[in-house]
Amino acid sequence: MVMKGCKEVALAMSFPKEPLVLLNGEKADRKSVGSAFACYSYSPERRIVCVTSANSCLGAHLAKKLLARGYLVRVTIQNPGNYEDMKELLNEEEISQLESVVVAKMGDVESLCDAFRGCHGIFHTSSFIDPRGISGYTERMAFLEAEGARNVIEACGRAAYSKRCIFTSSLLATFWKGDENDIGQVKVDEGCWSDEDFCRENKLWLALGKTRAEKVAWRKARELKVNLVTLCPSLLMAPSFPNAHVETSIPYLKGGQIMFRRGVLATEDVNEMAEAHVGVYQDMDYGACGRYISYGKIITTLEEAIQLETSLKMHGLLSGETAGQLVSGEADEIPPNLSNSKLTKLLDRASRRVSCHPSQSLLSS
């Protein structure tokens, strides 16, 4: 909903023992927070939006895109120590332009309510990073992923000015199933879901976490009448920050040779993914809804698989014996088995609207 005229928004915030809000990187006490967030004056062009986990690569890129489009951007981190990580992804000027940086734990719905209060849109990009490798993302983390999703949607329904949430899921939530006979016959699209039992049996914990989290988000959104849209990106790559995506790549690529063989191994530039989030959010005024699969490149040859694993310093993870035999013995190229036509059509419509109204550009960097 677009606001008319000016609107004062009072943020009724709770103050636990540790500070909830950081202002320009400094811990804020109760008095300074109260005066800083007492009220805001809006114009329709200056909506407050909130991005969760701005210390993640996607969260930081999304904050950059929204700032460039003139939004008032509030970001969340889960603890004060994440602020240093965020500073590696956002420069000083960008951080100074943020409306605020709020400490909000995914397991604490009240702190999320405080963070989302007054916002016109919530971009939930948060996920658990796996610093120890494949075994580090456990079934317990998959459970916490779903709990965090439930809390985010509840807080959006309770506290946001507009009940709009753009939720980052994963392509992993679409294609993990036990029956390989269907692979290649029907392309994986937004109507496809991974099988939770299959993910659990094969210890595909990240796929399980993303599948459960997105399903929980949809159920909670229907209950609270939150306008929810989900994006399901493939493996995110960050050329400008070559090490930023390595940790999250490890759990994503468990079962990578099978993904390659099935034609569902794909990558996406994190900058393009941030653009897609903003494009989908702005298209919600024109009917954007449901799920959107997003990828930039499908890995279809052994050479491409080797290039990817080399860039990730994971030699042999994708081009192992099984994948190599398949490519050299049966075909030079794996048939792609993904469809992102729904997102492509949305961005094409958005581009055509921009050509008619340049001031509303979605694609300015």
Residues known to be catalytic: 210
Which one, of 192, 185, 187, 186, lies nearest residue 169 by Cα? 192
* Dihedral-angle region of residue 233 (phi above 0 means left; psi in -120 to 50 means alpha; beta otherwise): beta
Measured between alpha carbons, how far is 170 from 25 in angstroms, rounded to an integer?
31
Work out the angle at residue 230's Cα, subtended by the Cα atoms of residues 264 and 251, and round it to the nearest 5 degrees: 45
* Dihedral-angle region of residue 292 (phi above 0 means left; psi in -120 to 50 means alpha; beta otherwise): beta
The answer to whether 273 and 343 are in contact (CB under 8 A) is no
Work out the angle at residue 317's Cα, subtended by the Cα atoms of residues 314 and 320, and round it to the nearest 5 degrees: 135
What are the beta bridge partners of residue 77? 103
The answer to whether 101 and 86 are in contact (CB under 8 A) is yes
